[in-house]
Structure 1
Amino acid sequence: MGSALVGFGKAVPALVVANETLETLVDTSDEWIVTRTGIQSRHVAIEETNADLAEAAARDALGWTNGGFSERRFDASEIDLVVFATITPDTVCPSMAGLLRRRLGLENAIAFDVNAACTGFVYGTTIAESMMAACAPTSAGATGRNPIRRALVIGAERLTRLTNWADRNTCVLFGDGAGAAVLEWDETRPGIMGSFIVNQDDFANALSSPAAYDAPQPFNADGTLKEVPALLGAAEQGIDDELGVAELVGAGRPRQVLYMDGPKVFKFAAEAMTEAVNQVLSRANISLDDVACIIPHQANERIIKYAAKKLNRPMDFFQLSIAHTGNTSAASVPMALCDAYANGRINRGDKIILVAFGGGFTSGAVLYEA
């Protein structure tokens, strides 16, 4: 018995930005971008909010539209849990999960957000499965707890809002979108067979983005000021020092954007991806030969090629969606998973691995039987 993944959906913004458009912003070219990343275009949210994208993906996954892949239509009252993974929320309060709960009328659902960067959907799925297992009607520990039979897990991002469009090394990478999945506790199906999540300390600050708050504070360490001070105070400066971006911010770079050391991130990601796959296989006590395909985080095609070589598998063993999405962080894995269903490469009974890696550093994998 286990938590079966039974519904899938995705959504992307209307605006498509091709590589050729970026040539007008920075010193780059379509050939340079495709060769180094595999990306040809990405979607950029102009009018759509993070919540708009998440809502559209969720409606698909719940079977409320004809755009997703759902085993049946789920009523709003059936959803007991919403886990929303994002690093680009529209709101601090309410949570994005709470906002989505309200929009969809999920009146019985517990709702909260998760920030694990690009591994967010894998973390969110692991959390949902753990809560469902603990609170399932047949669980020994379920007495006195809210029963959780069905969960909605979302990864949604407007990552282009954190993109420095003057930085040729990062602006070519990112896109916006959302993906969602419905999990259902089913005593007749294996569902999720294993999971692995882990953190490493990013001491080199290879991937970071400080938060920006714009409410002026009329205080300093000595007490109240007579004049409203600059928005960037001593506390924010301390964070910038810790993240290693103080000099760049002081030189005029935007503060709340993604700062990335590409080679260091690549080195971490390539090793983390293969480790996560091997760890989840070991925990489930099965071989990679038993797996139908791997759905990886779509960060860079070269990282996936590296993992394919290390795992001794051809590239067509992996779902590749990066060409027309770019890196959509927490939305990446569920969007690619939805693409895999759309392409007919996942059938009932297939064993599938979801694997991701992200800032923090975070990484992990989920193995489930479709």
Structure 2
Amino acid sequence: MLHVRSIWNGAISFGLVSIPIKVVNATESHSISFRQIHTEDGGRIRYRKFCELEDREVTQSEIGKGYEDADGTIVPITDEDLAQLPLPTAKTIEIVAFVPADSIDPLQMDAAYYLAASGAPAAKPYTLLREALKRSNKVAIAKFALRGRERLGMLRVVGEAIAMHGLLWPDEVRAPEGVAPDVDVTVRDKELDLADALMDTLGEVDLEDLHDEYREAVEEVIAAKAAGETPPVSPEPAEGGKVLDLMAALEKSVRAAKESRGEEPAEVTELPRKTSRATPKQTTGKKSTAKKTAAKKTTASAKKSTGTAKKAASSKSATSKSASSAKSTAKKTPAKKTTSRKRTA
């Protein structure tokens, strides 16, 4: 850290206490940058700066700042103009408040810096501010000017140093309007339970174990081509099926997370799935024999009932015939009696 070049020198204003400090970058980028080249011969492609009025290339020393007005007019602004601005934060990180850390919206977080004590006289007030932040469990909100504009910052303790996070102004953070789904969705308790199980299975991770695999792959490609070798080819990822059932996806995710950690498959309760036909229950041999016996008894009983019914039907038919015969005889007998009563002349 001692060899890192400071990007800003000034002081922290803590009430009437002034702490001389140097601001250094707390982060660095490891991204691989590429140059633009002419694909036919590998020549570098460069951008040259031309003046539109004189139509000639200009040097960096001839370039200044200008503000374009609404009508297209350019208003020149010099470094001297900006240096004369009545900003108390031009060379001072002015602490304006102390607030709980969780009151800061992470969306406001910007670049991070370390604040290093500048010289031996700054050691005592620097340590005082650091220990006060530790004991209060709060962060300091400050205003400072950097690269031509006033900014908002948050001071907190990192190890034995004071770090400052640049913050976006509240009006620079967009409201999340139109981002969330605009349809009504019902999340069931069982789905939440499985989501909780997945979160517990994944658990925590040591950020030190994470690394940029893409950058490493690019470095391998560059090294292979520089050595005249064939660049390594990554296997194509397996195509995943379309997930239509959220519960099934959650269950599979929990099992996969468990297996990746070498643990037993997670015990999850599956929801009953609809089937088009009911599957007949399998029965044992004894139950099958009992059913056959019962069927035989039922058949025998049915046969007896049929025989009895037939006999009853025959008896009824005979009775019917007797009744019909009796009625016929009765009708014939009065007819004969009537004939014998005729008078003689």
TM-score strictly above 0.5: no
Q: Under a length normalisation based on structure 1, what TM-score does the superposition of the two structures give?
A: 0.20
Larger radius of gyration: 2
Q: Under a length normalisation based on structure 2, what TM-score does the superposition of the two structures give?
A: 0.21
